[in-house]
Amino acid sequence: MKRVGEWLEINILENWANNTIFHVLTKELGASKALVQKWNQAKSIRKNDQQADVNHRLQVNDCLSLHLFIKEDYSVIPEQHPIEVLYEDDHMLIVNKQAGIDTHPNAPGQTGTLANGIAYYYQLNDEQLKVRHIHRLDKDTSGAIIFAKHDLSHTLLDKALEQRQIKRTYIAVAEGKLSQAKGTIDKPIGKDRHHATRRRISPTGQKAITHFQVKQYIPDQQLSIVELRLDTGRTHQIRVHLSSIGHPIIGDVLYGAKKRILNRQALHAAKVTLPHPLTGEKVEIEADFPKDMLPFLRK
């Protein structure tokens, strides 16, 4: 498959032939039924350069085209922010979020977020695209975040996240020495009814699983460098889980940190690994650490 102007062209090979367009788009490509219906209504599907209906049947060497690369409303106000691009193609964008900014607006018209900066970045590059984040990071957490650049990649990346095909690796600087070198924290997380933003371990909360491995212990400061991987993506998951075993992240006052060496939680999304939404090829991207965490990691 390849991009030709505003269209994605897919050459039909033998293993996809003799099926309807609807079957190929939903079963082979992975698009949702709702998305295919939207394309059909918008006349965004072509077969051999002719408008096609989803019930049309495809043969070997037919050219199936989707009108994916269209101009859209950004959905947020473009605003200049420094954007560190880690990976980009026609289908997705991965950036290294700095600490201290929200991933996206929490109210209409809000500015100062990473999403506002992404919209400005698109604008600079003469792309008019809706800003679509696939996951998010807390305001004071830094690191890699994935954005989809059109509705098909959005659907496929959402599905990959749900099926745990997107692997996220974090590095945290935690207080004290963990009793285990590696392990899994499997504790449900719910809202804290006594605090508007805080979460807590709750038997009635959502399932939350965090795998951890201690990479290094710094005895003179009584700090542990911990690598973490998530099976789920609950709000504040790593922060809640590390605090629940008695090792809050330094700087994380909300979850009981005593060491205020940093003015934020020392948590960084260091790596994302995922299948490319269109090609299926493995994409592995690392995000450089912010300057405030480097002194601990150099030790």
What residues act catalytically?
138
Distance separating alpha carbons of residues 154 and 81, to the nearest angstrom: 23
Cα distances from 95 to residues 112, 139, 200, 288, 290, in angstroms, run 16, 15, 29, 11, 13
User: Please, which residues have CB within 8 angstroms of residue 179's CB and are 6 or more apart in sequence?
Assistant: none
Instruction: Compute CA distances 33 → 51, 61, 206, 276, 277, whole Å.
Output: 19, 24, 28, 21, 17
Between helices 151-162 and 33-41, what is the axis angle to 10°?
170
The neighbouring-strand residues paired with 224 are: 174, 217
Q: What is the 3-state secondary structure (H, E, C) of 237-274?
A: HHHHHHHHCCCCECCCHHHCCCCCCCCCCCEEEEEEEE
Distance (Å) of CA 259 to CA 104, 167, 250, 284: 29, 30, 5, 33
* CA–CA dist 294, 196 (Å, integer): 32
Question: Which of 72, 82, 7, 16 has its CA nearest to residue 45?
Answer: 7
Q: Cα 208–229–106 angle (5° rounding)? A: 65
